[in-house]
Chain A
């Protein structure tokens, strides 16, 4: 449990759920009979309803972005460093909305939910999703909360893609768009890593074509490997080197010993993988990585990002991190350049960090300053 909840925490929070009757049309042409969204809010919606900020989560995120669910919680929400009173997303000024996207495995309608048509869990039958499906369902939540225009839509990585899509799909529904460590589309290398992750899951004997829940099992080994691969790509080589070096957890290189050794980095990765497969659903992992791969901001704008942004009406902040090789600064510069060519308001900062892609979740002094300065500049 937290020794004490600090003054800059949103404190104890609780998740809420909201149900939308269907059918809800998805981009794939399929429909969901109904949709449940889990969400949390922090701060207070002002009388003018002009201070609402939407947080879009990344691959393995969920609605619990800040604060604690109970005094016994050992860890706060996933973006607690950046959301709270006096923090960059200042809950003294903003009303923050954070949800678990559909397809997720934290209570929102997803592969582990019951398909009312069959009475069984959706599993592999859950429709394939696109980033736009998330944006459309986020807009349903927006309406239900009585918000007409977001002060800002904010997201890192896959969350940044959702923020960008908001700007092109509902240009008059957001005033600011904050895109952190993201890209307008993935590269072949990036897709390749996701393919390895998916193959690890689908080749696990416990996968059962995605219907593992019916067999009361789960492709835990496959999901763990998927997470291990992902985790390596979210860190920088230097950060791993500093954290683990070539330290051994067990064994020895002494001559006349034929015993193997276990490196600290290996033990750490296995722990991360197993821990993740305890709490995450493999079908959700497949859906999320597919949505990442499919996303291409400019696909239906003649592959021209300038065209894609031409109808947007909000201001943009773009942030990247120097050692992020999964979503490198070059991708963010492309985004900023497209916005400049489209004559849109944009600022771009390249934050020096050793933490790779994970930097967007980690407290970094300059990142905090830039992020806070931008959020402070937003009128509410």
Chain B
């Protein structure tokens, strides 16, 4: 289980109703169902991943996030999760609006483009960063809307989104003193818990 998924699980209450946007092969929902007895639905467009979800008995709905969530009623989920997908959607701000409409709480994790390694890569080599956790080249990447921790904090402030919790992952580990102090420079992955 990815570390950001480990972190966000703690923010999901037992027996709650969870919508996982870009649920992949369903590992999060499968674990939450087993350990917290949640009712969950995943949304995914990748055909192989949809089949994987079905194999492991995870409810999965084939749907394109860029077409919105208008088939889901206001406040119809306790938590709407989107892990490592924000940077891949066409209109991140609209998807976040939709998440906050459909869920009472939202959890978002994303790679921090402000991490020092990305900055040095671009500054010193003059190329778009390619790394273990951002493995794509510029032309074939699904990640079309990278942002930094500071960008995201500004974004939430401007749009009156309440940040209930924030956690930063560095070197595959949860918060440490340094990454909490300088997340924009040191966090590889940021995990936010949000509400209106």
Whether, in the assembled complex, A341 has its beta carbon less than 8 Å from a beta carbon of chain B, the answer is: yes
| B61 lies within 8 A of A348 (CB) | yes
- How many residues on B have C-beta within 8 angstroms of the other chain's C-beta atoms? 21
| Nearest-Cβ distance from residue B28 to partner chain A, whole angstroms | 16
With a CB–CB cut-off of 8 A, which chain B residues contact A373? 51, 54-55
Whether, in the assembled complex, A337 has its beta carbon less than 8 Å from a beta carbon of chain B, the answer is: yes
Closest chain B residue to A318 by CB distance? B61
Whether, in the assembled complex, A333 has its beta carbon less than 8 Å from a beta carbon of chain B, the answer is: yes
| A370 lies within 8 A of B50 (CB) | yes
Complex Cα–Cα for A347 and B61 (A): 5
Interface flags, B20-47, vs A, CB<8A=1, else 0: 0000000000000000000101000001
Complex Cα–Cα for A341 and B69 (A): 13
Which residue of B17, B62, B72 is within 8 Å of A348 (Cβ)? B62
| A336 lies within 8 A of B61 (CB) | yes
With a CB–CB cut-off of 8 A, which chain B residues contact A345? 39, 59
With a CB–CB cut-off of 8 A, which chain A residues contact B53? 347
Complex Cα–Cα for A366 and B47 (A): 8
Complex Cα–Cα for A345 and B47 (A): 19
Whether, in the assembled complex, B141 has its beta carbon less than 8 Å from a beta carbon of chain A, the answer is: no
- How many residues on A have C-beta within 8 angstroms of the other chain's C-beta atoms? 20
Interface flags, B140-181, vs A, CB<8A=1, else 0: 000000000000000000000000000000000000000000
Known contacts: A369-B51, A373-B51. The answer to whether A341 contacts B57 by CB under 8 A is: no
Known contacts: A341-B76, A349-B62. The answer to whether A376 contacts B55 by CB under 8 A is: yes
Whether, in the assembled complex, B1 has its beta carbon less than 8 Å from a beta carbon of chain A, the answer is: no
Which residue of A341, A343, A347, A350 is within 8 Å of B54 (Cβ)? A347
Interface flags, A332-352, vs B, CB<8A=1, else 0: 010011001101011111100
Whether, in the assembled complex, A294 has its beta carbon less than 8 Å from a beta carbon of chain B, the answer is: no
Whether, in the assembled complex, B10 has its beta carbon less than 8 Å from a beta carbon of chain A, the answer is: no
With a CB–CB cut-off of 8 A, which chain A residues contact B58? 347
| B61 lies within 8 A of A340 (CB) | yes
| Nearest-Cβ distance from residue A298 to partner chain B, whole angstroms | 17
Whether, in the assembled complex, A193 has its beta carbon less than 8 Å from a beta carbon of chain B, the answer is: no
With a CB–CB cut-off of 8 A, which chain A residues contact B54? 317, 347, 349, 370, 373-374, 377
Whether, in the assembled complex, B73 has its beta carbon less than 8 Å from a beta carbon of chain A, the answer is: yes
Complex Cα–Cα for A340 and B40 (A): 10
| Nearest-Cβ distance from residue B45 to partner chain A, whole angstroms | 9
Interface residues, chain A, CB within 8 Å of chain B?
317, 333, 336-337, 340-341, 343, 345-350, 366, 369-370, 373-374, 376-377
Besides A347-B54, A347-B60, A349-B62, 9 other CB < 8 A contacts? Answer: A341-B73, A341-B76, A343-B39, A348-B61, A348-B62, A348-B63, A369-B51, A373-B51, A377-B55
In the assembled complex, 30 residue pairs joining A and B whose CB atoms fall closer than 8 Å, in A order, are A333-B71, A336-B61, A340-B41, A340-B61, A340-B71, A340-B72, A341-B76, A343-B17, A343-B39, A345-B39, A345-B59, A346-B59, A346-B61, A347-B50, A347-B53, A347-B60, A347-B61, A348-B61, A348-B62, A348-B63, A349-B54, A349-B62, A369-B51, A370-B50, A370-B51, A373-B51, A373-B54, A377-B55, A377-B56, A377-B57
